[in-house]
Amino acid sequence: MATDASPQLRSVPPPSDFHPEISLSQSPTHDGLHFWQFMIAGSIAGTVEHMAMFPLDTLKTRMQALGASCSVQPVSVRQALRSILKLEGPPGLYRGIAAMGLGAGPAHAVYFSVYELSKQVLSRGDPNNSMVHAASGVVATVTSDAVFTPMDMVKQRLQLKNSPYKGVAECVRMVVMEEGIGAFYASYRTTVIMNAPFTAVHFATYEAAKRELMEVSPDTANDERLVIHATAGAGAGALAAALTTPLDVVKTQLQCQGVCGCDKFSSSSIGNVIETIVKKDGYRGLIRGWIPRTLFHAPAAAICWSIYEASKSFFQQLNSR
């Protein structure tokens, strides 16, 4: 009896030798990274990207909010910049940056980790499928926008000329008291509708451009790979930004409504906002701020993808040791 049982006992590891937390930590996803490593890489990339390009984001917001209750006049990037520097000085370009800092890190951690997870699930062994990249980007943006939209609304209200809020905390408190929690998500539907095609175009273009550039120079060094990531990211960001500017104008109007003379809308209907913009400013009103928006997203995407890919490479080397 003892002889027959001993092989069975030897084939089952003692309970003290089994550590499920170690087993889980030793099972990285695709690209040889763990889920939390995608989150850290994305958080770092997104925070640096938005903080570095914040002045252009302020210019875009100011230009897009002009077509509200105030008189509608064409304003160039140079005029908007000159006005801010003259009346508020350089600090005026950075109003609301604290809200951006609070929102960008968590949102991009969700953004990139969900993207990588979706890409792994949907690819089914074909890592070069552009439709998978686009679909994964849409899933990622729907999820991350739920995290970022409240802070994005606070940021844009702080960016407005003569903003009545002194800081993030005061803006949040006054919005809750005067408009309710729902005000933080008044633009969520518009943001998703805008960012879904933006992200689909962005990710699909980036992955395709990166693949083509890698094929041209397959034996590139690490520093040359960063140039490839930056080039592919810049092109993808600029194209996606230009195509989705009208919806970005609608989003700005919804997030800034009722503040500093901006119109208050009876509903968050995209059609209602577009109709109001066209009636006041013509169809040109729907492309207000497209230049600073494009100038923002081209280098921002280059910065973001370069840092993200570099962070991934760092974690890959760390995991291989």
- 61-65, 260-264, 310-314, 316-320: range with highest mean pLDDT: 310-314
> Residue 279 has what pLDDT?
87
Interval 48-107: pLDDT, tens: 999 999 999 999 998 887 544 444 555 788 888 999 999 999 999 999 999 999 999 999
Q: How confident is the model at residue 299 (pLDDT cuts 50, 70, 90)?
A: very high
**Rounded distance between C-alpha atoms, residue 230 and residue 306, angstroms:** 5
CB-count exposure of residue 321 (10 Å: 0-12, 13-18, 19+): exposed
Q: Looking at the predicted structure, is the pLDDT value of residue 258 above 60?
A: yes
Higher pLDDT, 14 or 120: 120
For 218, 226, 228, 288, the CA distances from 221, given in Å and listed in that order, are 9, 9, 11, 41
* Backbone angles phi and psi of 88, in degrees to 5: -125, -15
Task: Please say if the pLDDT value at position 45 is more than 90.
Answer: yes
pLDDT of residue 207: 86
Distance CA 85, CA 105 (A): 28
pLDDT > 70? residue 2:
no
Region of 178 (left: φ > 0; alpha: ψ -120 to 50; beta: rest) is alpha
Query: Is the per-residue pLDDT at 145 higher than 50?
Result: yes
Contact 104, 148 (CB under 8 A): yes
Q: Provide CB contacts within 8 A for 54, sequence distance 6+.
A: 93, 94, 97, 100
What is the per-residue pLDDT for 321? 77
CB 207 within 8 A of CB 130: yes
Q: What is the mean pLDDT of residues 158-186?
A: 93
Domain 35-320 has CATH 1.40.20.10: no
DSSP 282: -
Instruction: Please determine, for residue 281, whether its predicted confidence score (pLDDT) is greater than 50.
Output: yes
Query: Which tokens belong to 148?
Result: 């970022």
C-alpha to C-alpha distance for 228 and 224, rounded to whole angstroms: 6
